[in-house]
């Protein structure tokens, strides 16, 4: 979990809404709401907020969030499904490979 916080802090170079997303993620992490922190990372990668847009990483973070623990894994699962509809088969395969590397 500490890796998520460190990762979010490294993203503080983003501007505007990206910074707000990082701050929300850090606040969620501090509260112990790892789902929200992971979900926010997924949103950042999906939208390219402070990071290069990357649907593969976004999908992977949504998947981690959907597996909990957290307050609302359904929210992350909906984000995951919405994003999957926009992804190519190759991106979905790459996301499954990344999740396997993460042990999920």
SS3 content of the chain, % helix, strand, coil (to 5): 75, 0, 25
Is the distance from CB of 37 to CB of 29 less than 8 angstroms? yes
d(CA 10, CA 76): 23
pLDDT at position 65 over 50: yes
d(CA 62, CA 16): 22
State mean pLDDT over 8-24: 50
69 burial (CB, 10 Å; 0-12 / 13-18 / 19+) is exposed
pLDDT for the residue 3: 52
Question: If you average pLDDT over each of 19-23, 26-30, 89-93, which comes out highest?
Answer: 89-93
Q: Report in angstroms the alpha-carbon separations of 51 from 12, 57, 67, 91, 93.
A: 10, 11, 24, 18, 21
pTM, full prediction: 0.69
């Amino acid at each position: 979990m500490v890796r998520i916080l460190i990762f979010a802090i490294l993203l503080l170079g983003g501007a505007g809404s990206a910074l707000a997303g990082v701050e929300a993620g850090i606040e969620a992490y501090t509260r112990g709401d790892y789902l929200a922190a992971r979900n926010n990372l997924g949103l950042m990668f999906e939208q390219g907020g402070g990071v290069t847009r990357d649907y593969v990483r976004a999908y992977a973070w949504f998947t981690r969030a959907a597996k909990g623990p957290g307050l609302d894994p359904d929210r992350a699962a909906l984000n995951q499904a919405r994003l999957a509809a926009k992804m190519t088969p190759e991106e979905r395969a790459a996301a499954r490979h990344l999740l396997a590397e993460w042990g999920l």
